[in-house]
């Protein structure tokens, strides 16, 4: 979402988060930001806040998760970042966009998602990810490929 906003030159002010439970019921809420953004980290963290604080967290059988940004405004109407750390973050986001444009979306991913990707590949899907993650967290040991046998 944030990448498409940057590409088209927009910032957004309202983040919507939703999920569908195993009984196919939808739960959604929104939150307005004090400053419009196109930063995926801000959007992601806001979406998590919405789910935790307004929706009571994810239930066990989530079958769909969605995030969208509304109240869009054209970027040309907003001043560039003033502080050095904000300027650096903006340059980083634009550099990552150029890398992903050239080498694909998977060229640069957050390290925190690597275990989830490995679990999803090893189990044949996301169904057992939460269960395995909790088991590994309880045992307080690092994850190894041998911990999961592929589902056939």
Better-scored residue on pLDDT, 76 or 70: 70
Strand spans (E) along the chain: 10-20, 26-37, 64-70, 73-74
pLDDT value of position 136: 59
First to last CA, the chain: 34
Put simply, whether the predicted model's pTM sits higher than 0.85 gets the answer no
Of the pLDDT bands very low, low, confident and very high (cuts 50, 70, 90), residue 151 is: very low
Token digits for 68?
Answer: 């969208």
Going 108 to 110 to 114 to 120, the CA torsion angle's sign is negative
Q: What is the CA radius of gyration of the chain?
A: 18
Query: How far apart are the C-alpha atoms of 78 and 83, rounded to whole Å?
Result: 15
Q: Is 60 exposed, middle or buried (0-12, 13-18, 19+ CB in 10 A)?
A: exposed
Task: Report which of residues 132 and 104 the model is more confident about.
Answer: 104
């Amino acid at each position: 979402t944030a990448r498409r906003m940057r590409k088209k030159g927009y910032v957004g002010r309202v983040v919507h988060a939703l999920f569908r439970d195993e009984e196919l019921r939808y739960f959604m809420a929104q939150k307005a930001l004090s400053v419009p953004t196109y930063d995926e980290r801000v959007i992601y963290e806001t979406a998590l806040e919405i789910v935790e604080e307004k929706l009571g967290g994810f239930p066990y059988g989530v079958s769909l998760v969605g995030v969208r940004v509304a109240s869009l405004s054209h970027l040309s109407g907003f001043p560039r970042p003033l502080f050095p750390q904000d300027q650096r973050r903006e340059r980083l986001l634009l550099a990552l966009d150029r890398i992903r444009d050239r080498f694909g979306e998977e060229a640069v991913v957050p390290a925190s998602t690597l275990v989830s990707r490995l679990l999803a590949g090893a189990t044949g899907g996301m169904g057992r990810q939460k269960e395995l993650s909790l088991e590994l967290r309880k045992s307080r040991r690092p994850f190894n490929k041998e911990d999961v046998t592929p589902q056939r």
